[in-house]
Amino acid sequence: MSLKPSVIDPVPEETARIAHAAFPKGNLYLAMRDELGIAFSDADFAELFPRRGQPAFTPWRLALITVMQFLENLVGSSGCRIGPLTH
């Protein structure tokens, strides 16, 4: 697996405005983004990957998903089972 680092674009202002309007009392994940900004970036993980090989999933996204699963108390594959098929 190789990593092709890319820049994480900022959240568009309109998207942020709509997200905050959808959660007027607040939301943990919106607060995390507002307070922390971009917590992880590809550059944080670049040294861990060889220069050649099949492109990997962006590690910052996998790290963020891991944090979110922990916050929601979803361990192992239980996070994969959440969705419309389980309701």
Amino acid found at 23: F
The pLDDT tens digits of the residues spanning 50-87 come to: 888 888 788 888 888 888 899 899 876 655 555 544 43
Give CA–CA dist 22/77, Å, rounded. Answer: 29
Q: Which residue has the tokens 């361990």?
A: 75
For residue 25, what pLDDT is reported?
94
Q: Is the overall model pTM greater than 0.85, yes or no?
A: no
Both tokens of 26, joined, read 């607040």
Q: Per residue in 15-37, pLDDT tens?
A: 999 999 999 999 999 988 888 77
